[in-house]
Structure 1
Amino acid sequence: MTGYTIRRARREDVGAIVRMLADDQLGAARDDPDDLRPYLRAFEDIDADPNQALVVVVFRDEAVGTLQLTIIPGLARRGALRGQIEAVRIRADHRGSGLGADLVRGAIDESRRRGCALVQLTSDVSRVAAHRFYERLGFVPSHTGFKLKL
C-alpha cells in the first residue's frame, strides 16, 4: 500500500490508538475509547521512556495502525537486549493491506539497530489468524506464557 507513513505516536493519536485496541474480541472487554484519561497518563510515561517506541501508521492524516516496541535489558543471554512487540493493531478497513507486516518488520529493524539479540511477542491463544501472521514473518512459537491479573 502506498501513501502511508510510520512515525512515533503523538498525544493526539491516543484516541485513534485506543479505538483500534478496543476494536477486536478481546479489546472490546478491556479498553474504553470513551475515557482517554488513563491512556493519556500511560502515553506520557511511554513517550518519556527511551526504551519505548509507540508508533502509528498514518494514511491520509489518520492513524490506521499501531504497535508498541519495548527494549528490555537483561542478564540472560550474556546481558542481551530484547525487543518486545505488543499491541499490534490495524484499523479494520486497512487490514490485509500489508501494513501490519510493515509495522512488525520496522520493529524488528529498530530492535536490530538498538543491538537486541532477539525480538519476542506474545499473542492470546484465541488469535489463531495472528499466530499464522507472526509465523509468516519468521516468528517461532517457543514458550508457554503465564499471566497473573492483579
Structure 2
Amino acid sequence: MDPLRIGELLMTIAIRAAIAADKEACIELLQDFATATGEDLSAAAGDVFDNLLQTGNGEILVAEDDGELLGLVSLTYTPVMRFGAEYCRIEELVVDPSRRGEEVGARLVEGAIGRARGRGCAEIGTDLLERAAQHREFHARLGFDSIGTALRRPVD
C-alpha cells in the first residue's frame, strides 16, 4: 500500500481483488451511481458480481482505506483474434462521491492496467458516454486515447 497525501491528510489506499464479502458494498456503490445518473441497476447485478469473481472472464478490483470501500473497477477479458491476445475492458469505474478528488479512480485504473498487463492483454479500454464527457481529461491523463464512437443495440 502506498501512502497518498491529500492536503494535510495522509491516507493509505489499497487496491485489491474483490472478495465475496465485498458484494454488498459494491452493489451499494453501483446503486448510488445508477441513481445519480438516472439509470436502473439490474436486479441481477449481484449475480454478475459472483460470476466475475468465479469464472476468470473478468474481475473486480476495489479501493480500500482502513477497511472502508472507496470505489471499484470491474473488468472483462475478451480474446481478440486480430490482437492474438485478450482485450481488457473497463466496464464500471465507481468512486464514492465523498472520496472523489482523492485520486481513488486513478489508482483503480492503474490497478486495472497492471492486471491487464500481467494477464498478457494487448490493450485496455473503456467507453465514455456522451453525458460523461467531463471525464475525458481524467482518462487522457491516464494515457487513454479517443478512437471513435461506440455503437450498441439491444439484442432482445
TM-score (norm 2): 0.83
Shift in Å, 1:119 = 0.9
Does residue 38 (structure 1) correspond to residue 48 (structure 2)? The answer is: no
Instruction: After TM superposition, give the deviation of residue 39 of structure 1 in Å.
Output: 2.6
In structure 2, the partner of 1:115 is 120
Q: Which runs of 5+ in 1 are unaligned?
A: none
**d(CA) in 2 for partners of 1:88, 1:107:** 10
User: Structure 1 segments of 4 or more deviating over 6 A?
Assistant: none
Aligned to 1:85: 90
Corresponding residue to 1:71 among 72, 77, 80 = 77
Q: CA deviation at 1:22?
A: 2.7
C-alpha deviation, 1:137, in angstroms: 0.7
1:126 aligns with 2:131: yes
- Give the Cα separation in 2 of the matches to 1:64 and 1:99: 7
Secondary structure, in 3 states, of the residue corresponding to 1:3? Answer: strand
Q: Give structure 2 stretches of 5+ with no counterpart.
A: 5-10
| CA positional deviation for 1:68 | 0.9
State the alpha-carbon separation in 2 of the partners of residues 134 and 4 from structure 1: 20
| Residue 142, structure 1, aligned to residue 142, structure 2 | no
Aligned residues: 144
- Alpha-carbon distance in 2 for matches of 1:145, 1:105: 23
Inter-partner Cα distance in structure 1 for 2:31 and 2:140 = 24
Match of 2:109 among 104, 107, 111: 104
Q: CA RMSD in A?
A: 1.7
- Checking the alignment, whether the CA contact within 8 Å between 1:11 and 1:40 is kept in structure 2 is no
> What is the SS of the residue equivalent to 1:45?
helix
Offset at 1:104?
A: 0.4
Is the partner of 2:131 in helix, strand or coil? coil
1:75 positional shift: 0.7
Determine the structure 1 residue equivalent to 2:39: 29
Which residue does the alignment assign to 1:4?
Answer: 13
